Amino acid sequence: MEFGWTSEQLALRRRCRELADDFAIRSADHDRDSSHPIENYDILRREGFLALNIPRELGGGGHRLLTHSLAFETLAQGCPATALAFNMHASVVMPLLDSDQVAPEAKRKIVDLVVGQNKMIGGNFSEPGTTSLIGERPLSVRAVPVPGGYKVSGRKMFASMIEAADFVMVLAYPEDSTSPHAGALLLIPRGAPGRSVAANWDVLGMRATRSDSLTLQDCFVPHENVLFRGDDMRKFRYENLNWFWASYTAVYLGVAVAAYDELRRTVKTRQPAGYAQPLAWHPDVRRHVAELSADLEAAQLITYRSAWLSDTEGATPEATTAMYRAKYVVGQACSRITRVALTLGGAHGIFKGSRLEQLFRDGALAEIQPPPSDFCLWSMGLHELGLDPAQALPPMRPA
């Protein structure tokens, strides 16, 4: 693996750093109000970030997961929720463009919307009953064939930036299918008749992602908005886990970096009464910071390497396991760094509006964000021992 960044990657990181500094000014307000950071999305839109990963020959930036990770690690340092929600666009657009299962017309439509019209696309696969505990994702949202397309009904959940994006890509079960693993990816514009949002995203962290619930009631989706339909969505998902899942890892890495930086700033500036030196001189503080620096560098290197493996090898078992390992290590590092940063910040740091307090809450989601840490360990264990997942017993008694 090459450890140096190219001048292009460094220039992108510099620009992301400038944008992050600007996002940071408004981050606490959006967090408190749980409001969409629309102006941040507009800036990213203007700056060409919607097409960051689209191949260059199609008019995009052509950046793959490694460079994407560097960019989103940096953006997240300013406003974690902006980076997490905005990443949903690449997370759902790129699998469609990369997959050889997707028809050329669907790819052309995506490129036209994103490169030609600068449209932002969210994604909603999750439902109230979704869990990765049992390894299956039965879909309750149904797409019933009607003349000219489908009528879609049911309830989705956790739809980041749903009211800010121009479209949401929804995963539904095609009612005329016989396979239990079938699915269809449907593009539904904001304001489509039969589409409504329940604003229930009043949560602990990543509040400004506004990952509200989506309800569809006989919502008509014309054939031209059916981007993909398959009898076995598992293969499609597995082959594109780099975008579907791994692209989020860098966001939580950015949260860890931000907490580490804020901690260092805090202990270097806070000088307790009666002492001639700031807290940074306390040996225990120095030791904590030293430990966190090791956690952080390990998390960064494992993330970059797993993204590099994905870019160079594709969805090989090794690259996929490296992705789980990276998510696990970043989840642990982010939890620890944000927790220790809050602890060393003391009671001064626990007020609403404190950056350490916000990063602690955002960082608390790192291990929960799919793929959750436990799921990563489950997958890594099977791979490391060379075990066939199909031969493993279900973790719980099936209904």
Ligand X SMILES: Cc1cc2nc3c(=O)[nH]c(=O)nc-3n(C[C@H](O)[C@H](O)[C@H](O)COP(=O)(O)OP(=O)(O)OC[C@H]3O[C@@H](n4cnc5c(N)ncnc54)[C@H](O)[C@@H]3O)c2cc1C
Minimum separation from the CB atom of position 375 to ligand X (A): 4
- CB contact set of 202 (below 8 Å; sequence gap of 6+): 34
Q: Which two tokens stand for residue 67?
A: 């460079």
Minimum separation from the CB atom of position 370 to ligand X (A): 4
Q: Which two tokens stand for residue 359?
A: 């990063």
Q: Is 16 in the site for ligand X (CB under 6 A)?
A: no
Q: Is 158 in the site for ligand X (CB under 6 A)?
A: yes
Binding-site string for ligand X from residue 102 to residue 131, where x marks contact by CB under 6 A and - marks none: ---------------------xxxx---xx
Rounded Cα distance, 11 and 125, in Å: 34
Element (H, E) at 233: helix 233-239
Q: Is 370 in the site for ligand X (CB under 6 A)?
A: yes
Residue 391 DSSP code:
G
Minimum separation from the CB atom of position 55 to ligand X (A): 24
Q: Is 335 in the site for ligand X (CB under 6 A)?
A: no
One-letter amino acid at 271 equals: Q
Residues binding ligand X: number (CB under 6 A)? 24
Q: For the residues of 182-213, what is the DSSP string, one character each? A: -EEEEEEETT-TTEEEE-----SS-GGG--EE
Rounded Cα distance, 340 and 349, in Å: 12
Residue 98 or residue 362: which is nearer to ligand X going by CB? 362
Residue 146 or residue 387: which is nearer to ligand X going by CB? 387
**Exposed, middle or buried, 268 (CB in 10 Å: 0-12/13-18/19+)?**
middle
Handedness of CA 377, 381, 384, 389 (dihedral sign): negative
For ligand X, the binding residues in 201-240 under the rule CB under 6 A are 206, 209, 211
Separation of CA 146 from chain center = 34
Q: Is 245 in the site for ligand X (CB under 6 A)?
A: no
For ligand X, the binding residues in 189-208 under the rule CB under 6 A are 206
Residue 155 or residue 270: which is nearer to ligand X going by CB? 155
Q: Which two tokens stand for residue 151?
A: 């009528």
Q: Is 86 in the site for ligand X (CB under 6 A)?
A: no
Element (H, E) at 159: strand 149-159
Residue 279 or residue 329: which is nearer to ligand X going by CB? 329
Q: Is 27 in the site for ligand X (CB under 6 A)?
A: no
Closest CA to 330 of 72, 132, 135, 134: 72
Minimum separation from the CB atom of position 69 to ligand X (A): 18
Minimum separation from the CB atom of position 201 to ligand X (A): 9
Among 88, 94, 188, 356, binds ligand X (CB under 6 A): 88
Among 34, 101, 132, 271, binds ligand X (CB under 6 A): 132
Rounded Cα distance, 173 and 177, in Å: 8
Q: Is 260 in the site for ligand X (CB under 6 A)?
A: no
- Quote the longest CA-to-CA distance of the chain: 79
Which window, 66-74, 138-146, 304-312, 368-376, contacts ligand X (CB under 6 A)? 368-376
Minimum separation from the CB atom of position 170 to ligand X (A): 9
Q: Is 160 in the site for ligand X (CB under 6 A)?
A: yes
* Beta pairing partners, 154: 216
Instruction: Give residues in contact with ligand X (CB under 6 A).
Output: 84, 88, 123-126, 130-133, 158-160, 206, 209, 211, 365, 368-370, 372, 374-375, 378
